[in-house]
């Protein structure tokens, strides 16, 4: 006997084998970046801050002077944005250098949103 569709098992297409394409985004999130900031105080000499900006942040004298003045006038300024590891290194270098010269200069880092 010839079988028709109603007699054949599992020939209809109403089970779950239809092509449902679930696209997933490849996980390529960039790592968070961190702002490194200098804080103003009343005691650290301006020239010392300029030296810090030249030595540890690769700024030329004019750029360093400008950022130092921004910190002096506004209270703080972002001096660079780095990976967590690099930011930590910069903060450590500045804090160590300031401490060795007995200046109260403060350098901090904060996650960039
Ligand atoms: N305010 C300091 C002064 O008048 C200069 C200064 C600038 C200090 C920037 C800290 O992060 C700083 N000598």
Length of the chain: 113
Nearest ligand 1 atom to the CA of 105 is 10
The alpha carbon of 113 and the centre of ligand 1 are apart by a number of angstroms equal to 27
Distance CA 59, CA 73 (A): 19
What would the pLDDT profile of 51-73 be if each residue is shown by its tens digit?
Answer: 999 999 999 999 999 999 999 99
- Nearest residue (by CA) to ligand 1, atom 13, is 45
Residue 31 confidence (pLDDT) above 60? yes
Binning pLDDT at 50, 70 and 90, where does residue 84 land?
A: very high
Share of the chain above pLDDT 70, in %: 84
- Which residue ranges have their beta carbon within 6 Å of ligand 1? 38-42, 44-46, 49, 68, 71-72, 105
The alpha carbon of 91 and the centre of ligand 1 are apart by a number of angstroms equal to 17
Helix, strand, coil percentages for the chain (3-state, nearest 5):
40, 15, 45
The alpha carbon of 90 and the centre of ligand 1 are apart by a number of angstroms equal to 18
Angle ∠(36,54,86) on CA atoms, nearest 5 = 35
The alpha carbon of 106 and the centre of ligand 1 are apart by a number of angstroms equal to 10
Binning pLDDT at 50, 70 and 90, where does residue 18 land?
A: low
What would the pLDDT profile of 88-104 be if each residue is shown by its tens digit?
Answer: 999 999 999 999 999 99
Distance CA 2, CA 6 (A): 12
Stated pTM of the model: 0.80
């Amino acid at each position: 006997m010839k079988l028709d569709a109603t007699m054949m098992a599992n020939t209809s297409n109403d089970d779950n084998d239809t092509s449902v394409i679930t696209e997933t985004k490849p996980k390529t999130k960039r790592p968070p970046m961190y702002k490194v900031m200098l804080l103003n105080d009343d005691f650290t000499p301006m020239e010392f801050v300029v030296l810090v900006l030249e030595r540890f942040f690769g700024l030329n004298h004019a750029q360093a002077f400008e950022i130092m003045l921004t910190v002096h006038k506004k209270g703080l300024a972002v001096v660079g944005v780095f990976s967590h590891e690099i930011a930590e290194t910069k903060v450590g270098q500045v804090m160590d250098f300031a401490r060795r010269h007995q200046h109260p200069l403060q350098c901090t880092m904060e996650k960039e949103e």
